[in-house]
Every structure is written in structure tokens, then in C-alpha cells.
Amino acid sequence: MAIIPKVYLNSFVSIGVRDEAKNIDWIGTGFFVGRNSDKEGQIIPFLVTNKHVFKVKDTVVVRMQKKGCDDLEEVDYPLLNEDKSPRYVLHDMDDVDIAVLRINAQYIIKNNLEFPYIDIDNNAMSSFELRNNGAEEGSIVYMLGFPMGLVNVSSNNPISRMGCVSRMTEAQINEQHNMLVDIQNFPGNSGSPIITRPEFIAVGGSSSLHKSVLVGIVHSYIPYQEGLINSQTKQVVEIRSENSGIANVHPVEYIRDIIDKIYPIPNKTAEQQL
């Protein structure tokens, strides 16, 4: 049985940069999201990743699939306007590591490209919505992305890793703007989405989340550090740092903050936006 919807798997992309010889170095992960526009049947497309993936870059490369076949096209997305101002939008909080680039829908249509996407309003849940719908500490989640540049030549399929929510309390998110997820992430996973696994069994009168939704975006991990002490001087001479296996994940509400700035939900009042 397929646990992760196919459209989700296809919406994740590796993000790269070209060197002087035009070779591509794959540096991070991103994913496509969409919001229904005020015109029926049309969506506004976005690419979501981390701030540090876009930082000090003029252009990034994303591979997209041609409609009706398995061919991939390397699309160069300019990140700067002619006046060198960024085309992407960053979250207002310095410690929220999210960037969103609005994509030219006409380019996608003109070049006959597929645009699989996650509906940011209907196929995603904020931490508040998750807690109210049965997700909690211990809930199973998947991280999808391209760690360590592991990108297939002829496929956009991401690498999936399974873990669980470690901490998702309101206090945790208010203090650190992160939920904690027990999952191994590595360079290249920056910008990876976290997706829930549908659960159909609840224990002890609790509820369970019956569908797969986007819950957040990975941006870093908590390191475990240990000092090596010189036996004679008793001084720390070296600090070793390892991946603790706990990932920092910004929940969906911070992604929506940015998209609301770029394209507010049509027909939604100012009070509803808050």
C-alpha cells in the first residue's frame, strides 16, 4: 500500500548551482506548493526551501519533468531582479530559515512542464492543527530529500527516511520556532519537507490523523558535542561534533506566513488572515 501520495513524491526537487564549467553541484532540497487563486481552476505556484540554500546565489537549478514523458529538464531560476534585489521572500524572523520563490506559471505552461505540488492550505497542517487532529509526540513522519547530493541522473525520486515527532508542544514552538523530529538528516537535506504517515489506529480513547500532510521543513540538526581533554593539562584540546539525530523543523505556519505575504488567500478577511 502506498503511504506517501505520488503527487507529494513528485513535488520534491533537488536544488543545485552551476560552476564555471556549467556542471551542477546539488546543494539542497526544495518542494513545490500551490495556493488556489481567485480565478477558478488556477493555482499560484511556489518553490519552498531554506534561506541558506538561496543565500548569496544569483541563480539555482531545479529539474522538472516534461508532460507526457519521463524526460527531465534542468530549469535555471534567477533569484535576483535586475536591480539585484531578491525575487524570493524570506520569513521576517531572523531565526526562521525559510525562503519562498513565486514561480512563473506561464513559463511552466509554455514549456509543457509538469507541476506536481502540495496544496499549502488543504494538504498541510500547522502545529496547532496537528495537535487538534491526533498528531503528537511519537507520531510517525517521513523526511524526503536529497542528502549528500544523492540525485539520480534520470529520476527526481527523493530519498525517504522515517522517524517520529520528538517534541511539538506549543511552548517549544513559541520559544524556538521549531518542532523536534527524531530523524537523521545530512547536508543536502536542507529544505526537506516532513510528511505525516496516515494512522488508522488510536489507543486509549485518543484520536489519530488519517491522512498524509505536510507538517514542516527541515533546516538543521542538534549536534552532540564532546570535548577531548589533555591528560596532563586537563584542558579541552579538541571538540568533536556529531549528529544527534534530532532535526530542527519549522512547522507549516511559518511557510504560510510568507505565502500570505506574497499571495493572501482570496476572499479572506483581514481578521481571518490573523
Dihedral class, residue 234 (left if φ above 0, else alpha if ψ from -120 to 50, else beta)? left
Q: Is residue 1, in this structure, part of any structural domain at all? A: no
pLDDT of residue 273: 45
Q: pLDDT, tens digit, for every residue of 6-25?
A: 888 889 889 999 988 989 99
Does residue 162 fall inside a structural domain? Answer: yes
Per DSSP, which regions of the chain are E strands? Answer: 12-18, 24-36, 43-49, 59-65, 72-78, 89-90, 99-102, 118-119, 140-145, 159-167, 179-182, 193-196, 214-229, 236-251
In a domain, 42, yes or no: yes
Residue 101 lies in a domain: yes
Q: What is the tens place of the pLDDT at every residue in 221-239?
A: 888 777 778 777 878 777 7
| Residue 149 predicted with pLDDT over 90 | no
When divided into structural domains, the chain yields a total of 1
End-to-end C-alpha distance for the chain, whole angstroms = 39
Answer for the pair 71, 233: CB distance below 8 angstroms, yes or no. no
154 within a domain of the structure (yes/no) = yes
Residue 104: CATH number of its domain: 2.40.10.120
In a domain, 67, yes or no: yes
The predicted model scores a pTM of 0.86
pLDDT at 184 over 50: yes
Give pLDDT tens digits for 99-118: 999 999 999 999 999 999 99
Q: Tell whether 135 is covered by a domain.
A: yes
In a domain, 55, yes or no: yes
Which band of pLDDT confidence, cut at 50, 70 and 90, is reported for residue 200? low
Domain that holds residue 138: 6-273
Asked if residues 102 and 120 have their Cβ atoms less than 8 Å apart, the reply is no
Whole-Å CA distances, 39 to 42, 92, 118, 259: 6, 29, 18, 17
Predicted confidence at residue 274, as pLDDT, reads 40
